[in-house]
Amino acid sequence: MSPQSPFASTSTPTVAARPRVFSGIQPSGELHIGNYLGAVRTWRQQIEENKEDTLFCVVDAHAITVPYEAAELRRRIDGFAIDLIACGVDPDKTTLFVQSDVREHTELAWYLSSVTPMGDLHRMTQFKEKGEGKDFVSSALFTYPVLMSADILLYKATVVPVGEDQIQHLELARETSRRFNHRFGEVFPEPKPRLSTTPRVMGLDGDSKMSKSKGNTISLFEPEESFWGKLRTAYTDPQRLQLSDPGRPEICNIYTMHKAVSPKTTQDEVVANCTGAAWGCVDCKKVLFENFNRELIPLRRKREALSLPQVREALGDGAAKARRIAQATMKEVRERMGLGSLASSTVG
Ligand code: TRP
C-alpha cells in the first residue's frame, strides 16, 4: 500500500482500501432494455471484476417525489429487486438494498440541505423538466438532488456510475461534499462520475431517451412475443422508405442495440447489409432479436428460479450491511455538526 494513499487505513495496514462505488436506480415502471444496457449490465461487470466495493440501491424514496400509488410502488420495489438479482447484481457479492430500509439517507439529506443553496437546486434541469406544467409539484421534487447527494456521501463513495442525465446532480453532490468539509471539517471524499460506455439506447419512437414515462420502452423481461412485437415496429432510419434505399446505421437505434448485444462480426454484417440495401429493417431486427434472446434467456431462467421471500430476505441483509457504514458516517456527521444530546443511549 502506498503511504500517500488517501484511503490509507490504520487498522489494516497491509491492504489498501478499495474504491467504493455507489449507484441507485428508481423503481419506476419495469426494468427496460435501456436500463439494462446503460446501467445494470455494467454494474454486473463491476461486481464480477471485484476490484471495488460496490453498493447498489433501489431508491424508493426518490420515487415518491412525483404522484404515485403505494401498492404499485411496493410491487415495483419487489419487481426491480427480482430483476436486478436475475441480471447478476448478486447480493452475495455486492450490497444490494432498498433506500428507505436505511433511514440514515433521509437524515443526512436534511442535514445536507443546510449547506445546499436554493439557487443551485433551481438550476437543476431535471426539476424544471419534471415540474413543468404540473398542478402539483412537491417540495421533495425540488430537494431530490439533496437526497441523491446524501445517498452517495453516506457511504463516502468515490465512484458513481450514472447516465449523462445525472451529471448535473452529481456535480451538485461534489459541491456539497466540498461545502460540508469546508464548513465542518474533512468528512466526505469527492465522488467522481463514471459514465456508461454503452451508447445511449433511444426510445422505440426514436426521438427521446428510453423511459417508462414516455411509453417507448421494451421491458427486459417482457414475454418474447411482445418483445418481438415492439422491436419489429421500432423506429429506424426515416429516410429508408423502401428496401432499395440504403440505410444509415450510424443514426439508427437498432444498430446502437446491435453494438450492445451482437458479436462484432454481426455488427459488421449489419453495416454492410444496411448501407448496401441487402437487408430490410425487419431482417436486421430479427437478427437483433436473436442476439437479445441469447443474452436474456439465461437471465429469464434465473428470474424464474427466484422467490419473493428469498429476494426480500436478501434485501434485508443488504440493508443491514449498508446500515453499518451509514451509522458510522452519521455518528461523525452529528459530531461535526454539533447535533444530538451525546447521551450514551443515543450514540452509535
Ligand atoms: N437520480 C438517479 C436517476 O434517476 C437515481 C439515483 C438516486 C442515483 N440516488 C443516486 C444514482 C445516487 C446514482 C447515485 O437515475
CATH class of this structure's domain 20-201+308-337: alpha beta
Q: What is the pTM of this model?
A: 0.92
Please tell me the distance between residue 91's alpha carbon and the centre of ligand 1 in angstroms.
19
Cα separation of 339 and 197, whole Å?
A: 42
Q: Which residues are catalytic?
A: 130, 209, 212
The residue to which cell 433501489 is assigned = 58
Q: Which residues line ligand 1 (CB under 6 A)?
A: 22-24, 26, 59, 62, 148, 151-152, 160, 162, 166, 169
Residue of 26, 210, 212 to mutate, ligand 1, most atoms within 8 A of C-beta: 26
Q: 280 C-alpha vs ligand 1 centroid, how far in Å?
A: 39
How far, in Å, is the centroid of ligand 1 from the Cα of 38?
13
* CA distances (Å), origin 162, targets 18, 166, 167, 195, 289: 19, 6, 7, 6, 27
Domain chopping of the chain, boundaries: 20-201+308-337, 212-302
Whole-Å CA distances, 341 to 31, 344, 345, 346: 44, 9, 10, 8
In a mutational test of the pocket of ligand 1, which residue from 22, 23, 158, 195 has the highest number of ligand atoms less than 8 Å from its CB? 23
pLDDT in tens, the chain (348 residues): 444 444 444 444 455 689 999 999 999 888 999 999 999 999 999 999 999 999 999 999 999 999 999 999 999 999 999 999 999 999 999 999 999 999 999 999 999 999 999 999 999 999 999 999 999 999 999 999 999 999 999 999 999 999 989 999 999 999 999 999 999 999 999 999 999 887 788 999 877 888 877 889 999 999 999 999 999 999 999 999 888 999 999 999 999 999 999 999 999 999 999 999 999 999 999 999 999 999 999 999 999 999 999 999 999 999 999 999 999 999 999 999 999 998 888 765
Please give the CATH topology (third level) of the domain spanning 212-302. Answer: Tyrosyl-Transfer RNA Synthetase (1.10.240)
Instruction: Say if residues 272 and 258 touch (Cβ distance below 8 Å).
Output: no
